[in-house]
């Protein structure tokens, strides 16, 4: 449960670093992201993870002080939508179970009714569209907007958009399938937090 909380801090730290034009905060944001990616092995005291973290932090420091830290910060807002798009899209291939369907079945603890199987497939498709939109937005602002505008869009607005899509989809589902979705948002989030899905 440590990694999600660490991850939530990254976009805020990256945004502050860009707006303050701080080389050291840019380096700290990049190191923080590295920490997020290695959090599990680091906590388990894996030697390779600590070695990777140390070498990576040093390399990022030299990258930052030579003025390339900002360019490195442009990569995560593009990589994250690509990963989300791949994650949801690969589950839509023939013979596979859509990712949202798998999550919903795990949350419920039982197979989904046919109507929810159809619906959750459409929600999986929706998240593919959202991820593609975020990727286009990240690329467009990186190419044609100032770093401050790019950071506002990718480090703040993008996460607000994903949060809004999640909440609005849940609200629609609760209204449309009230008899099949008995729990409220807080209870649903608690159930969702316990879900472990293999990619």
Q: What does the alpha-carbon distance between residue 50 and residue 38 come to, in Å, rounded to a whole number?
A: 8
pLDDT tens for 131-166 read: 999 999 999 999 999 999 999 999 999 999 999 999
pLDDT above 90 (res 184): no
Mean pLDDT estimate for the chain:
90
pLDDT tens for 18-63 read: 999 999 999 999 999 999 989 889 988 899 999 999 999 999 999 9
pLDDT tens for 88-123 read: 999 999 989 999 999 988 888 788 899 999 999 999
The number of helices, as runs of H, and strands, as runs of E, in the chain is 10, 0
pTM: 0.89
Render the burial of 68-95: b for 16+ CB within 10 Å, e for the rest.
ebbebbbebbbebbeebbebbbebeeee
Of 4 and 11, the structure prediction assigns the larger pLDDT to 11
Q: What does the alpha-carbon distance between residue 145 and residue 153 come to, in Å, rounded to a whole number?
A: 10
CA proximity to 8, closest of 40, 32, 25, 42: 32
Domain spans, the chain: 1-73, 75-199
């Amino acid at each position: 449960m440590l990694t999600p909380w660490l991850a939530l801090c990254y976009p805020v730290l990256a945004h502050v670093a860009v707006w303050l034009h701080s080389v050291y905060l840019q380096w700290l944001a990049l190191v923080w992201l590295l920490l997020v990616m290695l959090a599990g092995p680091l906590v388990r005291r894996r030697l390779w993870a600590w070695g990777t973290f140390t070498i990576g932090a040093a390399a990022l420091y030299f990258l930052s002080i030579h003025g390339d830290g900002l360019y490195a910060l442009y990569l995560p807002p593009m990589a994250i939508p690509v990963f989300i798009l791949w994650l949801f899209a690969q589950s839509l291939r023939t013979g596979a179970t859509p990712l949202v369907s798998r999550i919903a079945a795990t949350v419920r603890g039982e197979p989904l009714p046919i109507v929810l199987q159809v619906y959750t497939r459409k929600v999986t498709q929706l998240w593919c569209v959202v991820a593609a939109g975020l990727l286009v937005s990240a690329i467009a602002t990186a190419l044609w907007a100032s770093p401050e505008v790019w950071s506002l869009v990718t480090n703040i607005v993008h996460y607000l958009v994903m949060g809004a899509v999640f909440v609005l989809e849940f609200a629609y589902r609760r209204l449309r399938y009230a008899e099949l979705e008995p729990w409220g948002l807080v209870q649903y989030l608690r159930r969702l937090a316990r879900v472990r899905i293999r990619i």
